[in-house]
Amino acid sequence: MIRKVLLTALCVVSFGIAQAHRPLKRIAKKHPVNHPVSADTTDQTAFYERIPLVHDILGYAKKYISSRYRSGGSSPRGFDCSGFTRFCFSKFGVTLPHSSAAQGNVGVKIDQEVARPGDLIFFKGHSSRSSHIGHVGMIVEIVGDRIKFIHSAWNGGVRYDWLHASYYQQRYVGIRRVVG
């Protein structure tokens, strides 16, 4: 298992270095899932196919849709937000702390315009006036300028939501890349 994780990590790092100089663009809205692709229009390989680890993590996370919310939870019996992201990433050898604020310090800060599926998205807690991270989710899809994410919310458990909803817009803090 460790060999598989290390091999996957090596492939991800190698791909990232090789692709670092290539600019990204968005696929038109008519496509069912919007993945960033290289500026070379002949290279239409889906993002998920280029970084299998992200595909695996998101596929695994989707299995837990409708799982209940549980404060401090980090198992299928119930998840809080950071417990859910930690649980999903740990299945594939990526260690995250069990705190949304602590997860907000992991990886690399990413601008919203270059966000990708698999990136972590952070929000303030219940109060939009707070300056502290209090919630985390995982980006699963980008459609035009709209970001869809999966998270464990106290009012509904594991579910999908969109960043453009006013509740999340008012609480949005930032995005961090922890894979790739």
- Taking CA atoms, 124 is separated from 100, 146, 167, in Å, by 10, 19, 10
What pTM was computed for the model? 0.72
Q: Kindly name the residue from 31, 35, 135, 164 that is annotated as catalytic.
A: 135
126 is catalytic: no
In sequence order, the β-bridge partners of residue 147 are: 142
Q: Indicate the SS3 state at residue 144.
A: coil
Q: What is the pLDDT of residue 21?
A: 35
The H or E element containing residue 138 is strand 133-143
55 is catalytic: no
Q: Kindly name the residue from 11, 55, 151, 164 that is annotated as catalytic.
A: 151
Q: Which domain holds residue 64?
A: 2-177
21 is catalytic: no
* CATH number, domain containing residue 149: 3.90.1720.10
Q: What is the pLDDT of residue 63?
A: 97
Q: Take residue 146 and report the two structure tokens written for it.
A: 């709209």
Stretches in the chain below the pLDDT threshold 50: 5-7, 10-46, 48
Taking a C-beta distance cutoff of 8 angstroms, is the pair 84, 68 a contact?
no
Q: What would the pLDDT profile of 92-133 be if each residue is shown by its tens digit?
A: 999 999 999 999 999 999 999 999 999 999 999 888 888 899
Q: How many domains does the chain have?
A: 1
Count Cα neighbours of 150 within 13 Å in the Cβ-side half-sphere.
22
